Amino acid sequence: MDEPEGRRVPKIPDLRPCARSPVVDGLKIASQRQGGIVSRFDGDLELIDAYWRAANYLSVGQIYLRTNPLLREPLQAQHIKPRLLGHWGTSPGLNFCYAHLNRTIKARDLNMIYIMGPGHGGPAAVANAWLEGTYSEVYPEVSQDEAGLARLFRQFSSPGGIPSHVAPETPGSIHEGGELGYSLAHAYGAAFDNPDLVVACIVGDGEAETGPLATGWHGNKFLDPVGDGAVLPILHLNGYKIANPAVLARIPEDELIRLFEGYGYRPQLVSGDDPERMHREMAAALDQALDEIAEIQSMARDGRGHGRPRWPMIILRSPKGWTGPKEVEGLPVEGTWRAHQVPLAAVRENPAHLAQLEEWLRSYRPEELFDADGRPAGRLLALAPSGERRMSANPHANGGVLLRPLKLPDFTAYGVPVDKPGTTATEPTRRLGAFLRDVITANPDNFRIMGPDETASNRLGDVLEVTDRVFVGERYETDEHLGPRGRVLEVLSEHQCQGWLEGYLLTGRHGLFNSYEAFVHIVDSMFNQHAKWLKVTRHLPWRAPLASFNYLLSSHVWRQDHNGFTHQDPGFLDVVLNKKAEIVRVYLPPDANTLLSVGDHCLRSRDYVNVVVAGKQPALNWLAMDQAITHCTRGIGIWEWASTDGGGDPDVVMACAGDIPTLETLAATDLLRRLFPELRVRVVNVVDLMRLQPSDEHPHGLTDPEFDALFTPDKPVIFAFHGYPYLIHRLTYRRTGHHNLHVRGYIEEGTTTTPFDMVMMNDLDRFHLVMDVIDRVPSLGARVAHIRQRMADKRLELRAYTRQHGEDAPDISDWTWPH
């Protein structure tokens, strides 16, 4: 069969393994290339091209073929899948980079992983893992032979098979790429504290339009050339997203170069569609880039270089659907948006399409690429690295296997003594900060704290006694605790924080993301994707467990009276609870000691997303450390010291979850004692929100008898809740006494206020809770109307006080537990 135009490659029959490239002056190579004098790659060219053809063949096969995987017989309609799914357009570019990186891995014995921003190129990821043998090691039924090849093709995007995108099921991947935008953040996260790792990161030109990716380039200001590894971004301009041109593919070349120089990189452009020339260019560009990385690292590590390096990057401009059909039915396909998904769509119905597909597949010359058994030809196997050097088998891409447990100091040592509940105040996160300081000291290279510049304002500042905030660039005398190496990464981008921490955890380390509660919604979708990733990996035995993703939401809704309505949103909890129960945990510790206990627990856990909501303002201490540990271990419990039901049957249950709701509930209980001394009140505090769910829905869920024992099956329950009140109803609607449950929470009525004015505005205040009790405990009798009105009057009076004085009345702000 004739070779199609434009992709002829020189045929060099015998191939020597490529010698280790000498470290040469990058600029010299560049000038040689401009003069066209690049010859030293000739030896590899045909092999790289053959490898590329093999990966392309396998990519097309996955999209189209049900049977006849090696085209041993002429292609017929019945060999074709009934539903044609998957994305061809990005795949040849991904395969091109993969083949070239493989050469450099072997030549330089590199420790490299491959992040595929264009995650739609699932066929490419799977093709390369299969070529390298990893796929068959992980999934033995997909063997490296003809039967395995048939299975490989058939399973792709088929019922009971594998997803069409790069996914947790894909060996070598830490990045799904279904939702676009996070490849660079994942790449930098993976590189932190991995000084020997090179993270090759393919950025699609569609993805490059997203916000998270556009700021992702600034990761280079946070990468320490001494203690961290390298990220090698390869921006792949293939011109189109779905139906539209991609922005960066349509700006003039000088703008493009300036943009990436402005981002602080040294870009090299590899551009064209002639495979032979492109192989030469790409090989030269990669050698130059890897030389530059080696030089940067060696200078920094020898103490010869200071300041922020100008890291290399590559801009690869190649046709979308490169090597695919040039035209279909008279319309251009290769190099256009028509190549995005399935270029030939009617293959089963249209014999011309079928013939064109066969021509396309045979253009890769499968007979040269696979042996008689359907195994990749030996010379292809020779290009692939071996063992853990294969990008598909690199342990960093299955980080759990590298995970070292944190060395944790005894958290009880950071606790506050509580002789009498509710009489002393502490900033809970400040205690946690002291604990985290010593976690950092004990774990200097595998624990990081991320946040949008709130570590100090969240009262975790003690950590800065032992580490710096990372900034690789110009520093001034007035800067404090700022340096190129540290455990705290602060950037005003929740996307960067989230993406970095994901990349860090996925490569086997530990960490914490602290943020404003309202603004953590910025990463709702990233949380969703990470939770989905964890959910799938849970059922993949070869993926080792990871450290949990820990959120600490300290500037929470009830302390945003001064910042106002925009800063008030507790709805992240609702988003979190939509995900599978086996993955998510939500903790609402009400004071310092409970926060320490919860924090310690979260840092030890695996494969969860833990969300901890805890205050940073001084708050009353309720539980001594031993009580706190017991309470947090149970996750929910009766506070007997605050209850007046004598361990027997209460008249009303006052439940609470969250620090401010707990404060108001206790203050309401105090009022109730004085107003209705005979009323039997039970106080129930919830730290672990999942305890409220039925036991068949969440592993932490209480059984119905347990729930009824706490909340009673028939007594009114006044539940003061940190978040939107619906959430409690959603968790408890199946419980026996649910119709007795009355929830107070945040109801979106915020405006500028004082702290107590804010709880009043949302009817969560102590006086309103007392009114709720009055409304729901009819046994209180005739005095009720009188007292109820007193409560309502008190609220008006307090509101007037704040209006007049600009702050809360002292009897509110100074209240302590008097019993």
Question: In the range 512-551, which residues lie near a copy of itself by CB under 8 A?
Answer: 518-519, 521-522, 524-525, 528-529, 532, 535-536
Distance set, CA 355 to CA 62, 74, 92, 348, 783 (Å): 17, 9, 21, 10, 91
Task: List the one residue from 271, 566, 630, 633 that touches a copy of itself (CB under 8 A).
Answer: 566
CB of 531 to a copy of itself, least distance (A): 9
Distance CA 513, CA 189 (A): 13
* Subset of residues 66 to 125 that bind a copy of itself, contact rule: CB under 8 A: 66, 81-83, 85, 119
810 binds a copy of itself (CB under 8 A): no
- Relative to beta strand 636-638, strand 681-686 is antiparallel
Distance set, CA 679 to CA 159, 232, 710, 774, 776 (Å): 61, 68, 17, 11, 13
* Subset of residues 725 to 744 that bind a copy of itself, contact rule: CB under 8 A: 726, 729-730, 733, 738
Distance CA 815, CA 806 (A): 18
479 binds a copy of itself (CB under 8 A): yes
Task: List the one residue from 104, 136, 164, 685 that touches a copy of itself (CB under 8 A).
Answer: 164
Window of 93-101, 442-450, 454-462, 677-685 that interacts with a copy of itself by CB under 8 A = 454-462
404 binds a copy of itself (CB under 8 A): no
Contact 142, 130 (CB under 8 A): yes
Task: List the one residue from 24, 37, 247, 792 that touches a copy of itself (CB under 8 A).
Answer: 247
241 binds a copy of itself (CB under 8 A): yes
Tokens of 102: 């493989």
Task: List the one residue from 77, 251, 442, 792 that touches a copy of itself (CB under 8 A).
Answer: 251
CA-based nearest residue to 311, from 222, 220, 197, 229: 220
Biggest alpha carbon–alpha carbon distance for the chain: 102
Give the E-state strand segments of 506-573 in sequence order.
510-516, 549-555
CB of 375 to a copy of itself, least distance (A): 26
Window of 379-387, 405-413, 424-432, 558-566 that interacts with a copy of itself by CB under 8 A = 558-566
564 binds a copy of itself (CB under 8 A): yes
CA-based nearest residue to 767, from 743, 801, 728, 793: 793
762 binds a copy of itself (CB under 8 A): no
Window of 142-150, 156-164, 701-709, 788-796 that interacts with a copy of itself by CB under 8 A = 156-164
416 binds a copy of itself (CB under 8 A): no
Task: Rank residues 562 and 606 by Cβ distance to a copy of itself and give the closer one.
Answer: 562
435 binds a copy of itself (CB under 8 A): no
CB of 758 to a copy of itself, least distance (A): 9
* Subset of residues 190 to 219 that bind a copy of itself, contact rule: CB under 8 A: 206-207, 209-216, 218
807 binds a copy of itself (CB under 8 A): yes
Task: List the one residue from 33, 145, 146, 178 that touches a copy of itself (CB under 8 A).
Answer: 178
3-state class (DSSP) for residue 551: strand
DSSP-H helix ranges across 699-739: 704-711, 725-732
* Subset of residues 608 to 637 that bind a copy of itself, contact rule: CB under 8 A: none
Beta bridge partners of 552: 514, 612
* Subset of residues 301 to 340 that bind a copy of itself, contact rule: CB under 8 A: 332, 335-337
246 binds a copy of itself (CB under 8 A): yes
Task: List the one residue from 457, 617, 695, 816 that touches a copy of itself (CB under 8 A).
Answer: 457
3-state class (DSSP) for residue 322: coil
Distance CA 129, CA 137 (A): 10
Task: List the one residue from 1, 476, 674, 814 that touches a copy of itself (CB under 8 A).
Answer: 476
Residue 476 CB contacts under 8 Å (≥ 6 apart), including other chains: none
161 binds a copy of itself (CB under 8 A): yes
Distance CA 129, CA 663 (A): 56
3-state class (DSSP) for residue 595: helix
CB of 357 to a copy of itself, least distance (A): 17
* Subset of residues 586 to 605 that bind a copy of itself, contact rule: CB under 8 A: none
714 binds a copy of itself (CB under 8 A): no
Task: Rank residues 53 and 495 by Cβ distance to a copy of itself and give the closer one.
Answer: 495
Task: List the one residue from 292, 454, 502, 763 that touches a copy of itself (CB under 8 A).
Answer: 454
CA-based nearest residue to 40, from 25, 22, 55: 22
Task: Rank residues 108 and 532 by Cβ distance to a copy of itself and give the closer one.
Answer: 532
Distance CA 103, CA 693 (A): 53
With tokens 């042996």, the residue in question is 371
Contact 623, 591 (CB under 8 A): yes
* Subset of residues 57 to 76 that bind a copy of itself, contact rule: CB under 8 A: 66
Window of 291-299, 404-412, 484-492, 652-660 that interacts with a copy of itself by CB under 8 A = 484-492
Q: How many residues does the chain have?
A: 819
Distance CA 152, CA 135 (A): 9
DSSP 527-591: HHHHHHHHHHHTT-TTSPP-BPEEEEEEE-GGG-TTT-GGG---THHHHHTTS-TTTEEEE---S
Distance CA 544, CA 561 (A): 44
CB of 533 to a copy of itself, least distance (A): 9
Window of 260-268, 388-396, 417-425, 684-692 that interacts with a copy of itself by CB under 8 A = 260-268
Tell me the site size for a copy of itself, rule CB under 8 A. 124
Give the E-state strand segments of 497-651 in sequence order.
510-516, 549-555, 584-587, 609-613, 619-620, 636-638
Window of 367-375, 504-512, 566-574, 684-692 that interacts with a copy of itself by CB under 8 A = 566-574
- Relative to beta strand 584-587, strand 327-328 is unpaired
639 binds a copy of itself (CB under 8 A): no
* Subset of residues 262 to 291 that bind a copy of itself, contact rule: CB under 8 A: 262-264
Task: List the one residue from 59, 62, 136, 157 that touches a copy of itself (CB under 8 A).
Answer: 157
* Subset of residues 496 to 515 that bind a copy of itself, contact rule: CB under 8 A: 496
Task: List the one residue from 163, 225, 508, 590 that touches a copy of itself (CB under 8 A).
Answer: 163
Alpha carbon 176 to chain centroid, angstroms = 10
Instruction: Write phi, then psi, for 483 (nearest 5 degrees).
Output: -165, 170
159 binds a copy of itself (CB under 8 A): yes
Neighbour count for residue 492 (Cβ, 10 Å)? 11
Q: Which phi-psi region, left, alpha or beta, contains residue 639 (left: φ > 0; alpha: ψ -120 to 50)?
A: beta
469 binds a copy of itself (CB under 8 A): yes
Window of 277-285, 570-578, 596-604, 785-793 that interacts with a copy of itself by CB under 8 A = 570-578
Provide the residue type at 387 as one letter. G
Task: List the one residue from 79, 103, 165, 375 that touches a copy of itself (CB under 8 A).
Answer: 165
With tokens 């790792």, the residue in question is 197
Distance CA 78, CA 354 (A): 11
243 binds a copy of itself (CB under 8 A): yes
Task: Rank residues 46 and 517 by Cβ distance to a copy of itself and give the closer one.
Answer: 517
Residue 735 CB contacts under 8 Å (≥ 6 apart), including other chains: 694, 704, 707, 708, 711, 741
